[in-house]
Amino acid sequence: MAQLIDGSAIAAKVRAEVRAGVDALQSSKGFVPGLAVVRVGEDPASRIYVNGKKKAAAEVGFQSWELHPDADITQDALVALVRQLNEDPRVHGILVQLPLPKHLDADAILAAVAPEKDVDGFHPLNAGSLMLGRPGPRACTPLGVMRLLAEVGCDPAGKKAVVVGRSNIVGKPQALLLLQRDATVTLCHSKSDLAREVPLADILVVAVGVPELIRGEWIKPGAVVIDVGMNRRADGKLVGDVAFASASERASFITPVPGGVGPMTIAMLMRNTLDAALRSGK
């Protein structure tokens, strides 16, 4: 039976580390990190996510600001707002909460964020730095997955890693981070033969948003399973992308849903913001 990977407890550990870093920064340099979150319109899920980020920012000792333009803001006005934050020396990290209203070009908005303040790791320059193996901010969820693996003593080097999902937010950066740690990586998608690929995985990361897509009998005995998905079934229950009960019978470690990867995303956002402040030196 698999051991649960307690993402909530590990995220609390990360936040405590960040708080210690903030205290040291304030003592040595006389300032604390600043995080600005831009939330456009009234998307209910975005409001919940931003409130969670504000709560975490307060816990670790950041200054934080929520900028909340109306849903009908123009592209030019939103770009101007982002550029204003780029110039604000109090702001070390900028996060534009997705999704944006359909009339806005999300790619252009994200590209307007100064790369050194891009604590989501979505700017093209930072995505390119990851591809080239150069330093820079990394996407928060994949970074959180790597911390979860480290916490359970799973060294990717020499292992077969299978990532299911090829999004720019999770799947692609996750595959690259595992590759940098010397795993042999297969990146799967909707056209892949999952029944063939998944059983090969020593490390399985799933991020597709399809409830219980990955069947327990596909899991290699002893594999470490990281389920990034969070889906609500018709009966109201939250489930991941992996059939948890049957997968738990074969995996060595597995993340629950909820309480697995989710808390790590915000924790690593705090880590990225502290790192941005340390790089800025002011």
Residues forming a β-bridge with 272? none
Nearest to 75 by CA among 111, 122, 120, 37: 111
- Hey, what are 176's tokens? 């690259």
State whether the Cα torsion 279-60-14-272 is positive or negative.
negative
Annotated active-site residue in 6, 97, 118, 241: 97
Distance (Å, rounded) from C-alpha 173 to C-alpha 179? 10
| 120 part of the active site | yes
Among residues 6, 53, 227, 241, which one is catalytic?
53
Per-residue tokens: 51:
């409130």
What lies within 8 Å, CB to CB, of 234 at 6+ separation is: none
Is 282 annotated as catalytic? Answer: no
Q: Which of 180, 210, 177, 178 is nearest to 192 (CA)?
A: 210
From the list 6, 117, 118, 120, the catalytic residue is 120
Q: Is 191 an annotated catalytic residue? A: no
The CA distances from residue 72 to 40, 42, 65, 101, 169, in Å, are 9, 11, 21, 8, 25
Active-site amino acid positions: 53, 97, 120
